[in-house]
Structure 1
Amino acid sequence: MAESSGLSDEPNKKFQYYEHASKLLRNLNEMRKRPNLCDAVVVIGPTKIPVQKNILSAASLYFRALFDYDQHTTDTKDSASYVVSLDHLGIGANTFRLILDYIFTSEVQLEPSNIQDVLQAADQLLMSDLKDICCEYLNTCINPQNCIGIVDFTSQLSCTWWHAKVCQYLDANFREVSRHEEFLQLSSQRVEELLSRTTIEVEYEDQILDILLRWYRFQPEERKEETLKLLKSVLFAHQISKESMLALEEEKGEAEQEFHQELVSLRREEQARAFTKRGFVKVIVACGGEGPSTTEAGCFETKDYLRCVRPYSSGKAFSDWVDLAPMTTPRTGHGLVEVGGYLYVAGGRDNNCRILNTCEMYDPFKNCWKSFAPMNHARVGFGLVAIKNMIYAIGGSNDMTDPLTSMEVYDVCTGAWTPLSDMTMKRAWPCFVVADAKIYVLGGGIMGKFYESAEVFDTRSLTWYSVSPMRERRCDARAAAVDSDLYVFGGFRRIECPSAAHSGNACKLCGVEYYSEKKDYWVPLQSRFRAEGMCVASDRSQVNGALKYGDEILVVGELDMNGAVHSVRSFNPSSNTWDQVVVNTPKLQSRYQCCMLDLPRSLIHKLLIDRNASE
């Protein structure tokens, strides 16, 4: 028939009906209300709920294992004869109905009264997607009044990522948390666990003393002896100020006088003890890159450096770069992201021009690096971005000529890389940025041709689509997101007119563009009249990073300001103004990757002491 109709020479094509899955779910949802189409019954107390085994098996690893185990011993011809009891799991009938609704509709109604039951049931039934939704909801509910309870609850379940996020919130807001009843009612053992943490965000040890005294005064008749023990176990007594000691001495209570005497004794014992700082300092880190060789004059080499600088200190520029532990492998053209307080580095090119698939992680608490699972593909000039606990590696090149379209994702919690759908275009050295769980891929190029096109990967639907192209073609640019909108900085393009300033390399530094996600259009941004902008478009300028920092975007790199080279300048999107942040550049290091990191104050304090001692 195909030959007679003239279709035999037509190419094969694959078609997809995009409403198929949702339509199928709607029909299955209707079918489950008919007991004759169900093949099992779930029993919870006196309640019997007809179910379909294949649907439950597809949604829950628990049910899949249960039904697989029973398949040789149970007669499934009669649905009423296959009975599954969930009483031993402690899952209520209403909770299970909510979970069934989610399985068939992908929607679940969460509220404070049911969130713990649904999350615990999702954990027991091994439904990771529902657990993530529950944890997302919990994340919106966190406040100083309830975060300790959420910390304890998530620690009991395998919610590794979300537990870490709640702990970060607890540390960052601990002074406010300690004022509420949830903390004041804790046992002395739990108070000791919390106050022993050096990650608590406090400026002075006096604030830990205040928190401890507040806990004591909530139940003074019962807590005097426990408080005396806590003074010894959680407090760095030698760091308590004279003012706080005097204020405690002037208290008229008998217990306060005992506390004062205990502190005097502890301070005497701890005089030789090392000074310990609690909490974190937010820094910019510069990782890897290239620069002049330290051993051969006139040569360049790939760097293993990891350095940090604090962007602001009391409103003044802070320009002192501090060396941290170097990477185990020198890298340039690599990817760098921060996830859960740790740095993750992947790919790049080493000193022997080998393109790498190896990866390593920096632990700021130990100031050391360790390897983690290698990527499936070696990559250089690629995108590495993070969304929650997932790290996405996209595109790049594995032979310095032909770019890749492949994408893979690394789950920090499971330690495995998984392939995802490819980009639609081959492009090396593009710009990557995340906004609203979407990964934007902007510009880049192939074999000397630069692009202005843009495509987006939606991590929720796992699909690619195109958006409006940029106004300017650019390669190796950097971008930052403000809500769902984008700001793109730097990168290079071919010079398209004879009057463009250059020194023979036929490329020019690009300016700044703004993208409105709502309106899907790009706008070039110019500096205000006679005001300093990002930098001069000279051969010396290079943008290495664009980092969101409060209400500003910090642009990091080698930024030529008419002769002087700055390493960090801040851009205020609201006022379209620029300001100087850090002048000094990291020594012998350029084309590095950078990001923000919360570094323990104790580490910075130690590194500065060690450096001053060696000078």
Structure 2
Amino acid sequence: MATNGTRQLLLDVNGQDLNHFIKKLLNNICDFYDEQDLIDVTFKLSNPTAMVPAHRLILSAASPYFKDLFKSDKGLTPVIEIIDIDSDTFERLITFCYTGQTLVTIDNVDAMLKAAIYLKLDEAVVNCVDYILEHITDYTLQRAYSLERETQCVPLYEKLLEYDINNFMEISKHREFLSFDAEKLQAIIESHNLNVTCEEDAFYAVKQWYEYDASGRKHKLPDLISRLRLTLFDTSFLLRNVQTLPGCESLAFKATSWISLPSQRALISLKYTEPRRNVCVKEEDTTLLAVQAYGCTGTIFQYDQTEDKWQKYAELEHYASAYGMCLMEDNIIYIGGVRDGEITSGVESWSLKTKTWRTLPSMIQSRCWPSVVLLNGNVYAIGGTIAPGQRTQSVEKYSPGGRWKLVSSMIMPRSQASAVALNDKIFVIGGHNGNDLKTVECYDPFSNTWTKCGHMNEINYSPGVAVHNGCIYVLGGTSDKKTLECYDPQSNKWTKMCSLNMGRPYIGCVFVSDQLWAVGGWNSNSVSVYYAKTDEWLEKKPISEAGRYCCYVVPKALLLNQ
């Protein structure tokens, strides 16, 4: 009765007066805690040994764990021993009970989350989860997935699920994706908000997941495939790809019937027949860019698919040549190179949106011809030439807003190699070290280690590289090489595919859907397209200017006046 009366009085208080009263009350409570005044319970902890004083009423109001503890026989004693939480973490969470805030860091967030779950501090759990997602680049997805599996934390599961849905194109390339359980993958695939460029992306991701453990996942496959928007595929795709999967024959039949017999659709049972409502970057909303690379001047070309021609988007002047390059969000990052005859450590960024330059922090090591790759929001500058005839094996990492940091060096010094990110790792391919190389190395940022991979079939420097369906494609390079090789990281083997009609190094390569575009090359303006499904090349209309290129698929909205 007293509780109901005080709550009614609380509702009747003017909002401004109430806020003033609560603020004063909280300040007094914090003063009591800081001065250890009116303390009525002390916690004894180890690791390291510490005594943490507190007020029973405050802790009981903050957490049902403490409320239940203080009502039990164990909680009646003035000193209570806590053995499951280290003293530093416990003291931080006691502070949270008083203030609603505490210091969370990359190093302590795992322990903080586990302890907050144990102490039933729901708001502290949410704070830890939000911190992890806000710092996911430094924290890493692999660590987040492991923590979620260990703790079974529902808020963390839900936040990671939302992240997976919003970043599916990147997530599906991580090695952790292959270890998702079927229930989690189903929740991702059936989401109306799944961020894919087309429904084929979702299909190939499910197929890749299934093939990782075909015998163990065979019984789960039909249910996962049924969550796709099957009616968005054409009939030939359904017959060639879906019908051939074990247990999916009837799904392919239903979808082809739905497409070819509109009058019978009411009789055909399919889970989903409408497109996803939140395909953030549809294929028709993207465009192919070819950026002239490695010289002090260059042109960016945009491919017009409707008219099958290349148009100039911008002309650039850069202070250096022989640099490394990558695309980070809406900026092209130019790294190192040669300026006025000297090797430089400088880094510049050019915005696709505003067509303006800005200077970024310089590298620790001056280098030209480095391999450059973007992984999990970080830029890596790998190897390169640091003096005439001298290659390096050093590697640096740049996080936006920070500075360059050295990470573990490669096994072998090399320059003019190519690099790609796949399965949350970096693969450095070929290059030059006094001799042309066919060796391949793999960097794991989680363990900060390099390992050797299977050698390519042929030596290669400055090849074009691209990633598609969990494999790495390497093209051209080394004078007039025509070879296309495909690397499967699961088997650690390279396979030769259909060769180019005309070989050349420094080709710009990128996959557009399931087509590998090969643009330009040394003294070449040729444009060739490789069709992975049929293993054949077709020649397209040449680009306007011969030269070395880097290619990117970007949203049209990134480009000025689009």
User: Hey, what does 1:576 align to over in structure 2?
Assistant: 535
Shift of 1:406: 0.4
Shift of 1:464: 0.7
Q: Secondary structure at the match of 1:456?
A: strand
User: Hey, what does 1:419 align to over in structure 2?
Assistant: 406
* Cα pair distance change 1:446/1:304, threshold 3 Å: same
Q: CA RMSD in A?
A: 4.2
Alpha-carbon separation, structure 2, partners of 1:126 and 1:282? 28
User: Hey, what does 2:111 align to over in structure 1?
Assistant: 100
Matched, 1:52 2:42: no
Instruction: State whether residues 522 and 547 of structure 2, in contact with CA within 8 Å, keep that contact through their aligned partners in structure 1.
Output: no
User: Hey, what does 1:535 align to over in structure 2?
Assistant: 501
Instruction: State whether residues 113 and 128 of structure 2, in contact with CA within 8 Å, keep that contact through their aligned partners in structure 1.
Output: no
Alignment counterpart, residue 494 of structure 2, candidates 486, 509, 522: 522
User: Hey, what does 1:337 align to over in structure 2?
Assistant: 326
Shift of 1:408: 0.5
Instruction: State whether residues 520 and 543 of structure 2, in contact with CA within 8 Å, keep that contact through their aligned partners in structure 1.
Output: no
Structure 2: which amino acid aligns with 1:139?
A: Y
Shift of 1:435: 0.8
* Cα pair distance change 1:523/1:576, threshold 3 Å: same
* Cα pair distance change 1:454/1:411, threshold 3 Å: same
Alpha-carbon separation, structure 1, partners of 2:539 and 2:551? 18
Q: How does 1:262-341 map to 2 (within 5 A)?
A: 281-289=286-294, 302-310=295-303, 312-313=305-306, 317-320=308-311, 322-329=312-319, 331-341=320-330
Q: Secondary structure at the match of 1:546?
A: strand
Instruction: State whether residues 353 and 558 of structure 2, in contact with CA within 8 Å, keep that contact through their aligned partners in structure 1.
Output: no
Instruction: State whether residues 482 and 502 of structure 2, in contact with CA within 8 Å, keep that contact through their aligned partners in structure 1.
Output: no
Q: Secondary structure at the match of 1:469?
A: coil
Deviations 1:516-563 (A, max 9, x none): 11111111113xxxxxx52324xxx33422112222221122389xxx
Q: TM-score, normalised by structure 1?
A: 0.51
Question: Which structure carries more relative contact order (alpha carbon 8 Å, separation 6+)?
Answer: 1
* Cα pair distance change 1:438/1:483, threshold 3 Å: farther
Shift of 1:367: 1.4
Matched, 1:138 2:127: no
Q: Secondary structure at the match of 2:386?
A: coil
Shift of 1:283: 2.8
Alpha-carbon separation, structure 2, partners of 1:474 and 1:416? 32
User: Hey, what does 2:22 align to over in structure 1?
Assistant: none
User: Hey, what does 1:404 align to over in structure 2?
Assistant: 392
Matched, 1:478 2:478: no
* Cα pair distance change 1:319/1:387, threshold 3 Å: same
Alpha-carbon separation, structure 2, partners of 1:42 and 1:99? 24
* Cα pair distance change 1:125/1:100, threshold 3 Å: farther
Unaligned segments of structure 1, at least 5 residues: 1-33, 58-62, 67-81, 92-96, 145-167, 174-278, 290-301, 493-506, 527-532, 606-615
* Cα pair distance change 1:87/1:580, threshold 3 Å: farther
User: Hey, what does 1:375 align to over in structure 2?
Assistant: 363
Matched, 1:455 2:466: no
Shift of 1:592: 4.0
Instruction: State whether residues 488 and 513 of structure 1, in contact with CA within 8 Å, keep that contact through their aligned partners in structure 2.
Output: yes
Instruction: State whether residues 42 and 86 of structure 1, in contact with CA within 8 Å, keep that contact through their aligned partners in structure 2.
Output: no
Q: How does 1:526-565 map to 2 (within 5 A)?
A: 526=498, 533-537=499-503, 541-558=504-521
User: Hey, what does 2:229 align to over in structure 1?
Assistant: none
Alpha-carbon separation, structure 1, partners of 2:518 and 2:139? 36
Instruction: State whether residues 344 and 361 of structure 1, in contact with CA within 8 Å, keep that contact through their aligned partners in structure 2.
Output: yes
Matched, 1:119 2:151: no
Alpha-carbon separation, structure 2, partners of 1:328 and 1:376? 20
Shift of 1:87: 4.0
Q: Secondary structure at the match of 2:385?
A: coil
Alpha-carbon separation, structure 1, partners of 2:336 and 2:296? 14
Deviations 1:571-604 (A, max 9, x none): 1222212223441332xx5234443333547725
Q: Secondary structure at the match of 2:338?
A: coil
Matched, 1:595 2:552: yes
Shift of 1:481: 1.4
Alpha-carbon separation, structure 1, partners of 2:135 and 2:380? 28
* Cα pair distance change 1:334/1:143, threshold 3 Å: closer
Structure 1: which amino acid aligns with 2:164?
A: T
Alignment counterpart, residue 466 of structure 1, candidates 452, 461, 466: 452
Shift of 1:512: 0.9
Alpha-carbon separation, structure 1, partners of 2:541 and 2:126? 47
Deviations 1:301-328 (A, max 9, x none): x432241222623xx52233x1415244
User: Hey, what does 1:391 align to over in structure 2?
Assistant: 379
Alignment counterpart, residue 349 of structure 1, candidates 321, 334, 338: 338
User: Hey, what does 1:129 align to over in structure 2?
Assistant: 139
Alignment counterpart, residue 418 of structure 2, candidates 431, 435, 446: 431
Q: TM-score, normalised by structure 2?
A: 0.56
Alpha-carbon separation, structure 1, partners of 2:135 and 2:476? 49
Q: Secondary structure at the match of 1:513?
A: strand
Q: Secondary structure at the match of 2:297?
A: coil
Instruction: State whether residues 290 and 519 of structure 2, in contact with CA within 8 Å, keep that contact through their aligned partners in structure 1.
Output: no
Alpha-carbon separation, structure 1, partners of 2:485 and 2:529? 15
Q: Secondary structure at the match of 1:445?
A: coil
Alpha-carbon separation, structure 1, partners of 2:305 and 2:388? 38
* Cα pair distance change 1:373/1:287, threshold 3 Å: farther
Alpha-carbon separation, structure 1, partners of 2:533 and 2:404? 39
Alpha-carbon separation, structure 1, partners of 2:421 and 2:137? 27
Q: In percent, how many aligned pairs have the same letter?
A: 16
Alpha-carbon separation, structure 2, partners of 1:339 and 1:125? 17
* Cα pair distance change 1:552/1:87, threshold 3 Å: farther
Shift of 1:384: 0.6
Deviations 1:163-220 (A, max 9, x none): xxxxx999999xxxxxxxxxxxxxxxxxxxxxxxxxxxxxxxxxxxxxxxxxxxxxxx
Instruction: State whether residues 364 and 599 of structure 1, in contact with CA within 8 Å, keep that contact through their aligned partners in structure 2.
Output: no
* Cα pair distance change 1:593/1:401, threshold 3 Å: farther
Alpha-carbon separation, structure 1, partners of 2:322 and 2:346? 13
Alpha-carbon separation, structure 1, partners of 2:136 and 2:287? 37
* Cα pair distance change 1:477/1:125, threshold 3 Å: closer
Instruction: State whether residues 312 and 581 of structure 1, in contact with CA within 8 Å, keep that contact through their aligned partners in structure 2.
Output: no
Q: Secondary structure at the match of 1:491?
A: coil
Q: Secondary structure at the match of 2:390?
A: coil
* Cα pair distance change 1:138/1:390, threshold 3 Å: same
Aligned length: 363
Q: Secondary structure at the match of 2:560?
A: helix
Alpha-carbon separation, structure 1, partners of 2:415 and 2:492? 24
User: Hey, what does 1:161 align to over in structure 2?
Assistant: none
Structure 2: which amino acid aligns with 1:597?
A: V
